[in-house]
């Protein structure tokens, strides 16, 4: 009886939800590698960029990731309370941007945008 109930719940949860868009997400646990840099976008919105150092094991090298945050609350919190060396947990969406270099060649960049 219990097995049938679980199967019905699982079946309903997959069939009753609407279509979802695709997304990529990452989680980081590491230390802030430099002071938080606050900037203003072309449309006047404040944002911050900061590097985070992640080491999965003391025997492995440190991996560095650049994070960007656009939320006003996050910008305020990060600039006022988080300093270089702070241990943080970051949820981020992964985006890929394409652009053209000065020499005309095409390039791409992977960005980690901090989630709320």
**pLDDT tens-place string over residues 52-78:** 999 988 899 999 999 999 999 999 999
Q: Is 9 helix (H, G, I), strand (E, B) or coil?
A: helix
Identify the pLDDT of residue 22.
Answer: 60
pTM of the model: 0.71
Rounded to whole angstroms, how far apart are CA atoms 93 and 88? 16
Identify the pLDDT of residue 56.
Answer: 87
Identify the pLDDT of residue 103.
Answer: 94
Domains and CATH numbers, the chain: 19-114 (2.40.50.140)
Identify the pLDDT of residue 21.
Answer: 58
Identify the pLDDT of residue 49.
Answer: 94
> Which stretches of the chain score pLDDT less than 50?
1-2, 5-18
Q: 69: alpha, beta or left, given left = phi > 0 and alpha = psi -120 to 50?
A: beta
């Amino acid at each position: 009886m219990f097995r049938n109930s679980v199967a019905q719940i699982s079946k309903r949860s997959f069939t009753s939800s609407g279509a979802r868009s695709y997304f990529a997400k990452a989680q980081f646990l590491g230390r802030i590698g430099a002071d938080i840099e606050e900037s203003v976008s072309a449309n006047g919105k404040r944002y911050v960029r900061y590097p985070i150092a992640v080491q999965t094991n003391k025997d492995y090298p440190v991996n560095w990731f650049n994070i960007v945050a656009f939320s006003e609350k996050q910008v305020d919190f990060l600039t006022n309370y988080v300093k270089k060396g702070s241990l943080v947990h970051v949820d981020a969406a992964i985006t890929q941007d394409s652009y053209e270099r000065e020499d005309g060649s095409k390039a791409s960049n992977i960005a980690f945008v901090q989630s709320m």
